[in-house]
């Protein structure tokens, strides 16, 4: 089977081609092309939906041709076409979904509408394809949630953010501090030389399985006018540690509650090396196996969408080409 997938849920345009040969134990990534829009949105300090969708219209067709050329494959040789159908920005989702649907109709091939969050959730298994029973932490710019995974498409929501996602908090605090966009890498860079214990910042709703980072962001806002001198590195480190403490403690608690042997982490914020280190160490202490997605799979990309589509196609799933995008598509309830 060979699957071509498009990812246009937010501001990254992506096209990937993934093949699984009969008898092979793993898939072969034939092509993965991504066009970033960071430069276009940086001056606004966040994503502008109209700019994002216009750029998808420019980049997606180019990436489609580039991926096919890199893979040395004709579009008629593709067995199925897939695209992210949600969650995300409606004006962005429409671009990738429309292209994939048109290709599926034109070549009389199956179409698969893929949940963007399922792409993240499955990405730690990209090399193995064996989806084990586990607890998954998905942490990105727009989403922070923990999921109990029994198997492919069998997901139970444990907890989710009730306000800002971790990535949003990173971006907003970075903006307060006059740092660049996206904020996560900027805060992490300054935090490396800082003291995470200098500022006592709140860890919200620790008695709940849900997440909340709005109060942490507000605490930083009220603290800033009182600070003088050299505080940037210590504040970044203290803020980052407050987020990590919450993510790690709730994930380990979920793994214990659901009696799993494996914990995974994925999504853009999981690129944070300190989060990976501390969550990995907590898993070792708790007796859990720890698996994280490769860094290149953590940010938005079409390879993870192609992987989810390939697994679903092999399991007998298909989508109707009349299926609409859903900006608020849920992964689990």
Can you tell me the distance from the alpha carbon of 154 to that of 251, in angstroms, rounded to the nearest whole number?
19
Domain boundaries along the sequence of the chain: 2-126+297-314, 134-292
Lowest mean pLDDT among 19-28, 218-227, 288-297, 316-325: 19-28
Residue with tokens 């907003």, as numbered in its chain: 172
The two counts, helices (H) then strands (E), for the chain are 11, 10
Domain 134-292: state its class: alpha beta
Using pLDDT thresholds of 50, 70 and 90, give the confidence band for residue 7. very high
Using pLDDT thresholds of 50, 70 and 90, give the confidence band for residue 237. very high
Q: Which CATH number applies to 2-126+297-314: 3.40.50.10540, 3.40.718.10, 3.30.420.40, 3.40.50.720?
A: 3.30.420.40
Q: How buried is residue 157: exposed, middle or buried, by Cβ count under 10 Å (0-12/13-18/19+)?
A: middle
Q: Provide the mean pLDDT of the chain.
A: 95
Can you tell me the distance from the alpha carbon of 293 to that of 124, in angstroms, rounded to the nearest whole number?
4
Residue with tokens 């727009």, as numbered in its chain: 142
User: Could you tell me where the DSSP H helices lie in 114-165?
Assistant: 116-122
Angle formed at CA 309 by CA 304 and CA 313, multiple of 5 degrees: 155
Helices 232-257 and 273-286: crossing angle, nearest 10°?
Answer: 40
User: Could you tell me where the DSSP H helices lie in the chain?
Assistant: 38-42, 49-71, 90-106, 116-122, 166-176, 183-191, 214-223, 232-257, 273-286, 295-298, 302-314
Can you tell me the distance from the alpha carbon of 309 to that of 182, in angstroms, rounded to the nearest whole number?
29
Can you tell me the distance from the alpha carbon of 183 to that of 239, in angstroms, rounded to the nearest whole number?
12
Query: Which pair of tokens denotes residue 117?
Result: 């969050």
Q: Is the pTM of this model over 0.85?
A: yes
Nearest to 142 by CA among 168, 174, 173, 161: 168
For 129-152, write each residue's pLDDT tens digit.
Answer: 789 999 999 999 889 999 999 999
User: Quick one: average pLDDT of 34-62?
Assistant: 89
For 173-228, write each residue's pLDDT tens digit.
Answer: 999 999 988 899 999 999 999 999 999 999 999 999 999 999 999 999 999 999 99
For 257-306, write each residue's pLDDT tens digit.
Answer: 999 999 999 999 999 999 999 999 999 999 999 999 999 999 999 999 99
The DSSP letter of residue 75 is G
Is 45 a residue whose pLDDT tops 90?
A: no
SS3 288: coil
The phi, psi pair for 320, rounded to 5°, reads -85, 140
How far is residue 204 from each of residues 93, 211, 235, measured CA to CA in Å?
A: 33, 7, 18
Using pLDDT thresholds of 50, 70 and 90, give the confidence band for residue 332. confident
User: Quick one: average pLDDT of 240-261?
Assistant: 98
Question: Given this chain, do its domains 2-126+297-314 and 134-292 carry the same CATH topology?
Answer: yes
For 100-129, write each residue's pLDDT tens digit.
Answer: 999 999 999 999 999 999 999 999 999 887
All residues at 6 or more sequence positions from 85 whose CB lies less than 8 Å from its CB, including other chains = 93, 97, 113, 114, 115, 319, 323, 324, 325, 326, 329
Please state whether beta strands 2-7 and 134-139 pair in parallel, antiparallel, or not at all (unpaired): unpaired
Can you tell me the distance from the alpha carbon of 111 to that of 83, in angstroms, rounded to the nearest whole number?
8
Can you tell me the distance from the alpha carbon of 169 to that of 202, in angstroms, rounded to the nearest whole number?
13
What per-residue confidence (pLDDT) applies to 333?
A: 72
Is 23 a residue whose pLDDT tops 70?
A: no
């Amino acid at each position: 089977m060979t699957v071509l997938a498009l990812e246009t849920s937010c501001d990254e345009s992506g096209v990937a081609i993934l093949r699984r040969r009969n008898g092979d134990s793993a898939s072969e990534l034939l092509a993965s092309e991504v066009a970033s829009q960071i430069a276009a949105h940086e001056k606004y300090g966040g994503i502008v939906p109209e700019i994002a969708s216009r750029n998808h219209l420019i980049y997606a067709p180019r990436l489609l041709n580039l991926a096919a050329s890199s893979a040395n494959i004709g579009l008629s040789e593709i067995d199925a076409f897939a695209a992210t159908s949600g969650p995300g920005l409606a004006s962005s989702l429409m671009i990738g979904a429309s292209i994939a649907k048109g290709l599926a109709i034109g070549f009389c091939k199956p179409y698969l509408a893929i949940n963007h969050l399922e792409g993240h959730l499955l990405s730690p298994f990209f090399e193995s394809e064996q989806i084990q029973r586990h607890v998954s932490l998905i942490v990105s710019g727009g989403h922070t949630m923990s999921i109990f995974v029994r198997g492919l498409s069998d997901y139970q929501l444990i907890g989710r953010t009730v306000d800002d996602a971790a990535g949003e908090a990173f971006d907003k605090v970075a903006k307060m501090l006059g740092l660049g966009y996206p904020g996560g890498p900027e805060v992490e860079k300054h935090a490396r030389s800082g003291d995470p214990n200098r500022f006592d910042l709140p860890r919200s709703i620790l008695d709940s399985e849900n997440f909340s980072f709005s109060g942490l962001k507000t605490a930083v806002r009220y603290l800033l006018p009182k600070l003088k001198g050299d505080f940037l590195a210590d504040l970044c480190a203290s803020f980052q540690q407050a987020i990590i403490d919450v993510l790690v403690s709730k994930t380990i608690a979920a793994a214990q509650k659901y009696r799993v042997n494996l914990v995974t982490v994925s999504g853009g914020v999981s690129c944070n090396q300190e989060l990976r280190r501390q969550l990995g160490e907590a898993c070792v202490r708790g007796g859990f196996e720890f698996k994280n997605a490769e860094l290149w799979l953590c940010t938005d990309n079409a390879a993870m969408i192609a992987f989810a589509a390939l697994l679903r196609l092999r399991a007998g799933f298909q989508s109707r080409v009349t299926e609409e995008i859903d900006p608020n598509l849920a992964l689990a309830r």
